[in-house]
């Protein structure tokens, strides 16, 4: 069934709904949709089978061949044709995007994430920065993690800033939220039962085991703590070992920010596994 064409030339209820998807977490989840812009994000969402509900573009503004083809290939989605002024207002970019979209959210439980024979999962405990969360998704994607778990009170995974910061990886990395401590305990217990040698490795800046001395070739869950407070006590107690990234003796920096730390940790996991594969 072909989607409708809806022209929006004032800040009416249709436009206000789009603004809500950008700015209001609770209403975003009530609608079950989120706002996306950026060529890579839109292409990756398509590639990974996410359901588009509407495509958004400006009235009277010439579209690229890519945008025309994209709209044509998503004919079942509505077309929301905004005035150029409203399009500029809605876009989160300095150079207004030529095409945006609303996409259905997915609800995934940790048990629904498809795991490899030797899984590598990242758990981000109570992330508070949208850019960091998006960057961690990108690093999980780049280094082949099976998925990302987000726990506790945190920024919204579906916030447009998170999606944008992921540079398309949002749509390629399976993720799940775990809000209750009991559910987190059950997830860890299930992993330990299924995978011999399964190890939970926490990250810390406080002189724990040096990163490259930890065996990441085993099935592993990496835990990354909150940007300000580190890991919660509950996450800390779940860890089999704590790892730290060694800093140069002359450095005045005592640690990296969460996104940088995640990238270094995931690189070391990928490096060890690649080397073990060669052997």
Average pLDDT over the chain, rounded to an integer: 94
pLDDT of residue 279: 61
C-alpha span between 49 and 103 (Å, rounded):
11
C-alpha span between 37 and 55 (Å, rounded):
10
Residue 207 has pLDDT above 80, yes or no: no
pLDDT of residue 1: 67
pLDDT of residue 221: 98
Q: Residues 134, 170: contact at Cβ < 8 Å? A: yes
User: What mean pLDDT do residues 70-86 have?
Assistant: 96
| Range with the poorest average pLDDT among 39-43, 48-52, 202-206 | 202-206
pLDDT > 90 fraction of the chain, expressed in percent and rounded: 85
Please write the tens of the pLDDT for every residue from 223-264.
999 999 999 999 999 999 999 998 888 888 777 889 999 999
User: What mean pLDDT do residues 88-98 have?
Assistant: 91
pLDDT of residue 254: 73
pLDDT > 70 fraction of the chain, expressed in percent and rounded: 99
Higher model confidence: residue 150 or residue 107? 150
Residue 27 has pLDDT above 90, yes or no: yes
User: What pLDDT band is residue 36 in, cutting at 50, 70 and 90?
Assistant: very high
C-alpha span between 264 and 61 (Å, rounded):
43
pLDDT of residue 184: 94
C-alpha span between 171 and 41 (Å, rounded):
7
Please write the tens of the pLDDT for every residue from 190-201.
999 999 999 999
User: What mean pLDDT do residues 66-76 have?
Assistant: 96
Closest alpha carbon to 273 in 195, 214, 192: 214
pLDDT of residue 252: 86
Place of tokens 């006590």: 233
Question: How would you class 249 by CB atoms within 10 Å of its CB: exposed for 0-12, middle for 13-18, buried for 19 or more?
Answer: exposed
C-alpha span between 56 and 37 (Å, rounded):
9
Higher model confidence: residue 63 or residue 94? 63
Please write the tens of the pLDDT for every residue from 113-122.
999 999 999 9
E strand or H helix at 244, and its extent?
strand 241-244
User: What mean pLDDT do residues 170-192 have?
Assistant: 95
- What is the pairing mode between strands 120-125 and 100-104? unpaired
User: What pLDDT band is residue 18 in, cutting at 50, 70 and 90?
Assistant: very high
- pTM of this prediction exceeds 0.85: yes
């Amino acid at each position: 069934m072909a989607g409708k064409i809806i022209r929006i030339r004032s800040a009416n209820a249709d436009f206000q709904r789009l603004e809500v998807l950008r700015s209001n977490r609770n209403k975003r989840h009530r609608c079950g949709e989120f706002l996306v812009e950026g060529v890579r994000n839109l292409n990756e969402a398509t590639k990974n089978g996410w359901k588009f509900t509407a495509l958004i573009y400006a009235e009277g503004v010439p579209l690229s061949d890519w945008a025309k083809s994209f709209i044509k290939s998503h004919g079942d989605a509505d077309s929301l044709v905004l005035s150029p002024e409203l399009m500029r207002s809605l876009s989160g970019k300095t150079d207004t995007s030529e095409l945006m979209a609303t996409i259905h959210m997915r609800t995934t439980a940790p048990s629904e994430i498809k795991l490899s024979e030797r899984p590598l999962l990242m758990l981000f405990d109570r992330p508070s920065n949208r850019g960091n969360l998006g960057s961690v998704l990108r690093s999980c994607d780049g280094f082949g993690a099976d998925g990302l778990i987000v726990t506790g009170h945190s920024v919204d995974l579906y916030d447009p800033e998170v999606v944008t910061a992921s540079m398309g990886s949002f749509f390629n990395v399976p993720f799940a939220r775990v809000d209750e401590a009991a559910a987190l305990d059950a997830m860890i217990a299930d992993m330990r039962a299924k995978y011999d040698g399964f190890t939970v490795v926490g990250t810390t800046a406080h002189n724990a085991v040096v990163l490259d001395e930890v065996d990441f070739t085993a099935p592993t869950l990496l835990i990354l703590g909150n940007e300000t407070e580190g890991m919660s006590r509950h996450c800390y107690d779940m860890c089999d070992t704590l790892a730290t990234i060694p800093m140069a003796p002359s450095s005045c920096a005592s640690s990296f920010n969460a996104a940088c730390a995640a990238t270094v940790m995931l690189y070391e996991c990928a490096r060890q596994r690649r080397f073990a594969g060669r052997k």
